[in-house]
């Protein structure tokens, strides 16, 4: 057996064991999460403060992940809008940036300075967002971000999420 073959065998074995450990850990986490989510928060307040704190911390972390992903999506949307504003012509020449943004329907997202497709990046972050977001009505679609009203609604959701995160943080500190 050559050294290359040994190395491949070792890495394959290690990778397999690592995947098994990760799968086992995820199953344990899912069971713990299901147990915590089975009880209502009011019942947890009376009986088990540690479980309540863990549940609040998990919810805070989930919202924090969603907020970080939302920030990345928003930055990519702003890149596209700024690019379109710089390249505007004729009738849109006299519009302010805010008015231009209100009237803008994004047909093509464009590319970044590094020639990376903005639509692909946004789509990636939307998939991550939808994987974490539990409420179906709050999940995103790239088509919904093309209109100004939908982009505004997305920003409003970010602001509401931030307020919820602040209240969760205060509740965790209080307990």
Specify the pLDDT at position 64: 92
Rounded mean pLDDT, 145-150: 86
Q: Is residue 118, in this structure, part of any structural domain at all? A: yes
Average pLDDT score over the chain: 80
What Cα–Cα distance (Å) separates residue 43 from each residue in 48, 50, 170? 8, 12, 20
Tokens of 39: 């009880």
d(CA 49, CA 40): 13
Q: Is residue 112, in this structure, part of any structural domain at all? A: yes
Instruction: Give the distance, in angstroms, between the CA of residue 33 and the centroid of all CA atoms in the same chain.
Output: 20
Span 36-95, pLDDT tens digits: 555 555 555 556 677 788 888 888 999 999 999 999 999 988 888 888 888 777 666 777
Q: Is residue 24, in this structure, part of any structural domain at all? A: no
d(CA 87, CA 6): 57
Nearest to 145 by CA among 100, 107, 111, 98: 107
Q: Is residue 77, in this structure, part of any structural domain at all? A: yes
Length of the chain (residues): 175
Q: Is residue 168, in this structure, part of any structural domain at all? A: yes
Read out DSSP for 116-145?
-BHHHHHHHHHHHHHHH---GGG---GGGG
The total number of structural domains in the chain stands at 1
Q: Is residue 146, in this structure, part of any structural domain at all? A: yes
Q: Is residue 37, in this structure, part of any structural domain at all? A: no
Q: Is residue 160, in this structure, part of any structural domain at all? A: yes
As beta bridge partners, residue 111 has: 117
- Checking if the pLDDT of 108 tops 80, the result is no
Instruction: Give the burial class of 16: count Cβ atoms within 10 A of its Cβ; 0-12 exposed, 13-18 middle, 19 or more buried.
Output: exposed
Q: Are 161 and 63 in contact (CB under 8 A)?
A: yes
Query: What is the residue range of 99's domain?
Result: 63-174
Span 12-25, pLDDT tens digits: 888 888 888 888 88
């Amino acid at each position: 057996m050559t050294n290359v073959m040994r190395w491949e065998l070792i890495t394959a074995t290690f990778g397999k064991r690592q995947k098994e450990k990760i799968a086992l850990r995820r199953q344990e986490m899912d069971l713990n999460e299901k147990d915590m989510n089975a009880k209502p928060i009011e019942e947890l307040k009376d009986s088990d403060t540690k479980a309540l704190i863990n549940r609040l911390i998990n919810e805070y972390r989930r919202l924090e992940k969603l907020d970080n992903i939302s920030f990345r999506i928003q930055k990519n949307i702003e890149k596209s809008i700024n690019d379109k504003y710089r390249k505007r012509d004729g009738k849109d020449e006299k519009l302010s940036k805010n008015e231009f943004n209100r009237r803008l329907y994004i047909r093509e997202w464009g590319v970044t300075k590094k020639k990376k497709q903005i639509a692909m990046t946004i789509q990636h972050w939307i998939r991550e967002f939808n994987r974490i977001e539990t409420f179906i009505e709050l999940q995103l679609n790239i088509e919904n971000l093309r209109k100004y009203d939908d982009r505004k609604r997305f920003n409003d959701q970010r602001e509401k999420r931030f307020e919820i995160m602040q209240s969760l943080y205060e509740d965790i500190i209080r307990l």
